[in-house]
Structure 1
Amino acid sequence: MSGIGSGAAEDPAPFPGEVRLRTTADLADPRLAPYTTLTDAALRRDADAAHGVFLAESSPVVRRALDAGHTPRSFLLGDRYRETFADVIAAHPGVPVFTGPDQVLTALTGFHLHRGALAAMDRPAPRSVTDVLAGARRVLIAEDLVDHTNLGAVVRSAVALGWDALLLTPRAADPLYRRAIRVSMGTVFRLSWARTDGPLEDVLRSLRAAGFATAALEVTDRALGLDAPGLEPIRTADRLALVLGQEGPGVRPETLAAVDAHVVIPMPEGVDSLNVAAAAAVALWELRARRADR
């Protein structure tokens, strides 16, 4: 006998449309292609684009993706999570459901599937910057923020603190990469986002023409603390766009020259920065939109 697993006299009663993965030979099913090479982020970006999919990981995140209206192509479940996911499967008849023991799924994905479930979802069509900005009062701009974990954490804070939209430069990480989705706890499905095209300085000029104040979170000689009286016009702006830079290099000089203000988090002497995700959470709270009656 070859492959992993034996078959299964103990196989549970099947779901409609269920495909049991008993051995590594079963992993050749072409419908499983979206679940391969999950541990390689560089490969995933190309693979996801080629397949037109994104992957939602863990039962709560899969449910949030479905609640947001995303269309599943297939589900992948470890045996111990079959019954807790039965309602989702019943609500999506005709969608293939792949199930199997942990060792077979590990051979497929490259990691131990201990988070309950994976789902391959149709990747939504890209949205335009104009569409995403319509009606937005608080917009976050991720300039070359390439780390998926940081991006996921930033998205989670933005949604929790009432920000309306996210713009990403072409080099920034993919909000629909599975790690970014998981770290955001699925809140990315509640945030409008789009990628910019062309120099960010041009985007900032367009934002200013549309009535946005613009700021960058960066330590510079002209930066004002988030609690500084001189920052009041930025804090109270009806519409505001805030730029975050890449961990390490920070916001590009060209971008810093194009915004209205530079802002920093006041810190004790000898401490000059926080992780970008932690810094973003502080700034997003302090610069959140205020209600007119407060």
Structure 2
Amino acid sequence: ATGFHVHRGVLASFHRKPLPSADEVLAAARRVVVLEDVNNHTNLGAIFRGAAALGVDAVLLSPTCADPLYRRSVRVSMGEVFAVPYAKLDRWPEGLDQVRAAGFTVLAMTPAPDAVPMQRLTPAQRERAALLLGAEGPGLTAAAQAASDVRVVIPMRRGVDSLNVAAAAAVAFWELGREDAL
């Protein structure tokens, strides 16, 4: 018991609209984020919020990602999971070919020392960017990195090897959109 009268029953019920296809989402987007195995609902919600705030048009999820409509994801996103279009890529990592076929450059985020620093991406690589991020801890699988076009890194200082996936996403979103006219 909490000492308070807290309602723990059903507060609302709704039917989910069918998700759009990945092709529909890609056709309407200029910049997307693709998530592999992101199962932490807090990180997922924070990525949606960062996407909405920093100019990312849509989110694509690998088959093993958490549900964006899970209560914690909705709360952390401040409701942006309802505003940012998202879809699932049914085949993984083969679905990245579908992203590329839609005209996107797949940018795999990794702390690897041989990755291209994000600020050195060419205008062509930035034009229609699909930023690929992996789960907290393990990061992207080798198969997902191999299916990407360019491996990119946010340069770190003071011996720090990486950032939380949601923090890395926000920095990368800002970097990709920093020259957008507001």
- Whether the TM-score (by the shorter chain) exceeds 0.5 is yes
Percent identity (aligned): 50
Equivalenced residue count is 180
**Unmatched runs of 5 consecutive residues or more in structure 1:** 1-101, 110-117
Higher helix share: 1
Which aligned runs of 4 or more in structure 1 are off by greater than 3 angstroms? Answer: 233-236
Please report how far the alpha carbon of residue 245 of structure 1 lies from its aligned counterpart in structure 2 after TM superposition.
Answer: 0.1
Q: Which amino acid aligns with 1:251?
A: L
In structure 2, the CA distance between the partners of 1:181 and 1:104, relative to structure 1 (3 Å rule), is closer
TM-aligned CA distance change 1:271 to 1:290, over 3 Å: same
- Whole-angstrom CA distance in 2 between matches of 1:180 and 1:209: 30
Q: Distance in 2 between matches of 1:158 and 1:104?
A: 33
Match of 2:49 among 129, 150, 156: 156
Cα drift, residue 279 of structure 1? 0.8
After superposition, the Cα gap between the structure-2 partners of 1:104 and 1:162, relative to the gap in structure 1 and judged at 3 Å, is closer
Indicate the SS of the match to 1:123.
coil
SS at match of 1:182: helix
Structure-2 residue corresponding to 1:105: 7
The CA deviation string for residues 149-174 of structure 1, in whole angstroms up to 9 with x for no partner, is: 00000000000111111100111010
- 1:218 aligns to 2:128 (yes or no): no
Structure 1 position 290, deviation (Å): 4.5
Aligned position for 1:138? 31
Following TM superposition, by how much is the alpha carbon of 1:129 offset from its aligned partner in structure 2, in angstroms?
Answer: 0.8
- Residue 214 of structure 1: CA displacement? 1.0
Counterparts of 1:262 and 1:133 in 2: how far apart (Å)? Answer: 21
TM score, norm. by length of structure 1: 0.57
Give 3-state SS (helix, strand or coil) of 1:103's partner. coil
Match of 1:270 among 159, 165, 169: 159
The equivalent of 1:283 in structure 2 is 172
Native 8 Å contact 1:162 1:289 kept in 2? no
Over the aligned positions, Cα root-mean-square deviation in angstroms equals 2.2
> Hey, what's the Cα distance between the residues in 1 that align with 2:6 and 2:114?
57
TM-score computed with the length of structure 2 as normaliser: 0.90
- State the Cα distance separating 1:138 from its structure 2 match: 0.4
Matched, 1:172 2:61: no
Residue deviations 1:17-40 (CA, integer Å, cap 9, x gap): xxxxxxxxxxxxxxxxxxxxxxxx
